[in-house]
Structure 1
């Protein structure tokens, strides 16, 4: 009896070991290999973990109430004007930098707590810390990984006329070459930002360092508000986003200028139009009228006037007369002659100086 029970146990153990030695299989004996499309990309993982654009995340309950506090952040209308100019001017620089045509647009300008913004940054990413020299403060520029890989691919000769996205290796740090390219790209952005701010204020931005961990890019307290300018850069439909981040403390020196409302097309100047209008004004013809004096007569004297009659004025030959343009007196002068023509010699031009 004991021997039979031991044999049964040995058989069961042998069957278990044989099963463990087999390749993983389902009940039909087919290998359990993930089907095509079952693996998740980095973008899908970021989406599942909640990374991405904070404005796309629905907020409910207490989170929605807390987010309403952001509406109380001070707005900077002039930033929209500045970065509209930035989006147009940087296209030329990007074309020279990459040799490819690109589309650049401003997606939105929002305000968040700095900690909330850091939590929305998907990894991997590159974060450039820059210095606003005249304002004696700092900011950051976040470059999305998809844009990094696309730029690296183009700069290394890949071109933008492919139908597939740039090759992307998951789970590895950025190489020194990739980091150096992004440093150059960041300096290009900072130069264009400097030019875009010029009509408003004098400011120069300087690249400081590059980080790949958002926690090492802490430039202000977590609860402090920041302004995020989100720009999308695409090459033939492929590319990514950059976020230009200004802490409110950085913009404090020019807060009064940035809170002004933009009106009309007075932003900046167009020297060609100024020159054209100046020349047109200088060549405009005007009619001048010279009035000797006024004299009051009766209707009887008026009725008796005929050819050869003489009107005796009350002023003298060397008295000044008024010269007007469209009813406005512009100078005084003495009447005389120049060759066969009557002429007026200007004696008082104060009115002209006041008009000019």
Structure 2
């Protein structure tokens, strides 16, 4: 039998001739690139699957107000700060696409023992230096390409970067108490590598306008850095309370304080056999090991709360606390 047959819908034979090596090479060079498959396609994919972090957006928005105030106090100029976007990128793609010249500030989030990067573009660098050194403002021509940043410029920019990190830490107060310290300033992205190129990170980009001059800076936080507070960052924003409803918390505490509970005073305990319990008669006395001067145990639902002395007041049996319940029951 022949390996071919006539098919009006598929005129090609069932056993087509295999492609020659020359054909494969031409398809890879002259045509479309061969698609990546398997694990390599997953690792090198440009699409990042991530969960939306509503509270991180709130923190970045809150930083706009505090940082604008800090910049006005530092430069005595009219400062306008805007949050351009919050995106998720791979660390390597962000560093490779950062236009140079630029400065990269590596900072540490001390409670989390993790790192982040602040990138400042050339426009904001020269605008900041000009404002701090007494410039009159307005658009200015940037220095020629290839010129490196001086020590004075890096010191002035590092001061502004640290101020931005302090404002970001203040914005994080409702999420977690953290401190961010600038460790070093770098001019090359190769020396600011704090994560693997394929690691995902959240990037908040801000634009600063200083009376006709200014530029942009970005704060990059790898997802591994914010992992300790990931659950809190997933919360939804409810008003200006940064996800915490103080009115509801106060109402809950008030209702708990007004809840009625039954408190038991244990006069004593004695182990008895079932036979002895069955033979108990009316009027029979059970001897306990406690004396009237001993402190008795107070329980609530079987949980020990403290100790108290028993007595009598106004013809009623009363107890007087011997330990403080707020400090827990002494073991």
* Contact kept in structure 2, 1:232 and 1:242, CA below 8 Å: yes
TM-score under structure 1 normalisation? 0.55
Counterpart of 2:71 in structure 1 is 94
Instruction: Work out whether 1:243 is the aligned partner of 2:218.
Output: yes
Match of 2:242 among 267, 279, 293: 267
Q: Secondary structure of the equivalent of 1:82?
A: helix
Partner Cα separation in structure 2 for residue 270 and residue 94 of structure 1: 31
Counterpart of 2:200 in structure 1 is 225
* Contact kept in structure 2, 1:149 and 1:167, CA below 8 Å: yes
Partner Cα separation in structure 2 for residue 210 and residue 134 of structure 1: 21
Counterpart of 2:261 in structure 1 is none
Deviation at 1:186, TM superposition (A): 1.1
Match of 2:100 among 123, 139, 142: 123
* Contact kept in structure 1, 2:92 and 2:198, CA below 8 Å: yes
Counterpart of 1:148 in structure 2 is 125
> Where does the alignment leave 5 or more consecutive residues of structure 1 unmatched?
1-60, 274-356
CA pair 265-191 structure 1, distance change in 2 beyond 3 A: closer
Q: Secondary structure of the equivalent of 2:226?
A: helix
String of CA shifts for 1:185-232, please: whole Å, max 9, x gaps: 111011111111001111110110010000111000111101100011
Partner Cα separation in structure 1 for residue 166 and residue 129 of structure 2: 20
Deviation at 1:168, TM superposition (A): 2.1
CA pair 142-172 structure 1, distance change in 2 beyond 3 A: same
Deviation at 1:268, TM superposition (A): 7.9
* Contact kept in structure 2, 1:153 and 1:166, CA below 8 Å: no
* Contact kept in structure 2, 1:149 and 1:166, CA below 8 Å: no
Counterpart of 1:169 in structure 2 is 144
* Contact kept in structure 2, 1:150 and 1:166, CA below 8 Å: no
Instruction: Work out whether 1:132 is the aligned partner of 2:109.
Output: yes
CA pair 62-232 structure 1, distance change in 2 beyond 3 A: farther
Deviation at 1:99, TM superposition (A): 1.2
Deviation at 1:62, TM superposition (A): 7.0
> Where does the alignment leave 5 or more consecutive residues of structure 2 unmatched?
1-33, 37-41, 248-331
Deviation at 1:236, TM superposition (A): 2.0
String of CA shifts for 1:147-178, please: whole Å, max 9, x gaps: 00111111111122x3x325423211100000
Counterpart of 1:13 in structure 2 is none
Question: What is the correspondence of 1:284-295 to structure 2 with a 5 Å cutoff?
Answer: none
Deviation at 1:107, TM superposition (A): 0.4
Deviation at 1:77, TM superposition (A): 1.2
Counterpart of 2:47 in structure 1 is 69
Q: Which aligned segments of 4 or more residues in structure 1 are displaced greater than 3 angstroms?
A: 65-68, 268-271
Deviation at 1:127, TM superposition (A): 0.2
Aligned Cα root-mean-square deviation (Å): 2.9
Counterpart of 1:85 in structure 2 is 62
TM-score under structure 2 normalisation? 0.59
Partner Cα separation in structure 2 for residue 123 and residue 167 of structure 1: 13
Larger Rg: 1
More helix by share: 1
Partner Cα separation in structure 2 for residue 144 and residue 138 of structure 1: 20
* Contact kept in structure 2, 1:98 and 1:155, CA below 8 Å: yes
Instruction: Work out whether 1:188 is the aligned partner of 2:166.
Output: no
Q: Secondary structure of the equivalent of 2:86?
A: strand
